[in-house]
Amino acid sequence: MKKVYLETFGCQMNVSDSERVATQLAAEGYEITARESAADVVLLNTCSVREKAEHKLFTRVGQVGKDAAERGEKKPLLGILGCVAQLEGETLFARSQAIDFVLGTRAVGRVSQAIEKASGGQKFYADLGDREETYDWAVTGAQRHSPYVAFVPIIEGCNKFCTYCIVPFSRGREKSLPASEIVRHVARLRREGIKEVHLIGQNVNSYRPRTDDGLGEFRGATQFSRLLRAVAATNIERIKFTTSFPRDFHPDIVEALNEHENLCNWVHLPVQSGSNRILKLMRRGHTIENYLERIDKIKSSPRRIALTTDIIVGFPGETDEDFQATLDLVEYCKFNSAYVFKYSPRPGTPAHEMSDDVSAPLKTERFLRLDKLIRFHQREVFDDYINRTLEVLAEKISGKHSDQISGHSTCQMVVNFEGARDLLGKIVKVKILESKANTLYGKIC
Ligand code: SAM
Ligand code: SF4
């Protein structure tokens, strides 16, 4: 039996793709191993969002061959999957002789075919083709990243073409999965004992299936808010969704959250910049005024909805005033957390043609200032949870303290508390007593 080692870089979409690759390979008789040194086949599922992620890949590719040579063994078969594979295709073979095959983002359903071809001696095997009509989206429990939490893709690809972003090129156009299939999928996960589903996609709220099949009886201002209500009706304990695109964030999403307890109180709404001038250059499709309207709507909910965001610093042409506008926005929104990225020019995107004129030291300075401000507000937001009771899904034994359990609240905060192993998989009420860097600490009540 061939052993396969699979390593994943990047976003939840990649993690979810890897879960399906592993499921498929296991069903076809391969053994999925956690030890690279035991593997006959190494698969790297790649990310291309920033240049750094691509560099990491080439370091890893070199390492696979080097590690095998050090063990005195033959290099395992090496396959590159995911976004870099889709973008670079056959040119990857010229960049490293260690690579045996390349499989694009929508070709992952044919992974065993690629392994067979390459092990049969076929050189430079690349498949960048489309997903099969019959593609199986199922994941077995053994291959899921968590025994209690499942990712459920609802929309693939992206049509937005923000000027800095490579995703529409690496993942293709938006394609929504039928609502009836999604609802069936969630209902099955519930029967299997899954407590929490994450509806995932680059822009979940741009969800537009071809038909209303599965949405019929559910009202709502958009197909996404109807889908939220349909999924809520499965009675699965918790539903989270990410990422939301600000322009398409209809207030009815907040209404749906207000109506259904099992729709969790967390919204990830990437703003990218606090300056209208930069947002226009980024072609984001929203202004700060639109964004703040959405934030105000979310904050007006009787539920305490946690807000998170993504921000890019040092986009071409970003002035001190533009950056100050981002600081002001952060001051206003008081995010639970924010991912801050230094702008990274991606070949093939429109922004790559603009002059990358914010110097590296200035990008670093802005990154650090923004990060400091976010952490400052985070303290305030986190401290406000103290003495409150949160519902926490007990997910694993804490890495640091074996008598502690770690899990997530409905508002996607990491919460640690003392408890025994038999609590794993249960949703428990935890009174928050303390907050540290990125974690809340409490006791079961
Ligand atoms: N679709 C989501 C949205 O529009 O908000 C985001 C998906 S993208 C894979 C994740 C994040 O990576 C983006 O929100 C953005 O902040 C960051 N990102 C994308 N391209 C980037 C680039 N060229 N340089 C730096 N950060 C980038
Ligand atoms: Fe990239 Fe913009 Fe699409 Fe998000 S919406 S994936 S940032 S192009």
Amino acid identity, residue 435? S
For 302-316, the pLDDT digits (tens) are 999 999 999 999 999
Q: Please tell me the distance from the alpha carbon of residue 84 to that of residue 49, in angstroms, as a whole number.
A: 9
160: Cβ below 6 Å to ligand 2?
A: yes
Q: What is the pLDDT of residue 437?
A: 86
For 289, other C-beta atoms within 10 Å of its C-beta total 8
The alpha carbon torsion through 133, 135, 136, 142 (nearest 10 deg) reads: -170
Q: What is the pLDDT of residue 47?
A: 92
For 93-123, the pLDDT digits (tens) are 999 999 999 999 999 999 999 999 999 999 9
Q: What is the pLDDT of residue 292?
A: 98
Q: Please tell me the distance from the alpha carbon of residue 161 to that of residue 337, in angstroms, as a whole number.
A: 25
H helical segments located in 102-171:
111-119, 167-171
Short-list 269, 323, 324, 266, CA closest to 291: 269
Short-list 130, 105, 148, 141, CA closest to 14: 105
Question: Computed from CA positions of residues 365, 313, 12, 214, in that sequence, does the dihedral angle turn out positive or negative?
Answer: positive
Are 255 and 225 in contact, with CB atoms under 8 Å apart? yes
Phi, psi of 190 (to 5 degrees): -60, -45
Give SS3 for 204.
helix
Q: Six-digit token pair at 136?
A: 């199986």
Q: What is the pLDDT of residue 1?
A: 80
CA of 418: how far to CAs of 67, 402, 403, 424, in Å?
Answer: 40, 9, 6, 12
Residues lower than pLDDT 70 in the chain: none
Are 298 and 307 in contact, with CB atoms under 8 Å apart? yes
Q: How far is the CA of 165 from the centre of ligand 1 (A)?
A: 6
Q: What is the pLDDT of residue 257?
A: 98
Short-list 303, 299, 268, 269, CA closest to 391: 303
Q: Which residue's CA is minimally distant from atom 4 of ligand 2?
A: 202
For 218-254, the pLDDT digits (tens) are 999 999 999 999 999 999 999 999 999 999 999 999 9
| Residue list, ligand 1 pocket, CB within 6 Å | 11, 49-50, 164-165, 167, 202-203, 243, 245, 270, 272, 310, 312, 341, 343-344, 346
Strand order in the sheet with 306-313: 266-268, 306-313, 337-342
Q: Which residue's CA is minimally distant from atom 11 of ligand 1?
A: 310
Q: How far is the CA of 75 from the centre of ligand 2 (A)?
A: 37
* Ligand 1 atom with the shortest distance to the CA of 10: 9
Q: What is the pLDDT of residue 56?
A: 86
For 169, other C-beta atoms within 10 Å of its C-beta total 17
Name 212's Cβ contacts closer than 8 Å, sequence gap at least 6. Answer: 179, 223
Are 318 and 357 in contact, with CB atoms under 8 Å apart? no
Burial class (CB in 10 A: 0-12, 13-18, 19+), 240: buried
Q: Which residue's CA is minimally distant from atom 2 of ligand 2?
A: 162
For 127-139, the pLDDT digits (tens) are 999 999 899 999 9
For the chain, how are helix, strand and coil distributed in percent, rounded to 5? 40, 20, 40
Q: Six-digit token pair at 375?
A: 């952490």
Q: What is the pLDDT of residue 443?
A: 97
Q: Please tell me the distance from the alpha carbon of residue 305 to that of residue 294, in angstroms, as a whole number.
A: 12
Q: Across the strands, what pairs with 5?
A: 42
168: Cβ below 6 Å to ligand 2?
A: yes
Q: How far is the CA of 49 from the centre of ligand 2 (A)?
A: 10
Phi, psi of 317 (to 5 degrees): 85, 0
Angle ∠(20,26,30) on CA atoms, nearest 5 = 130
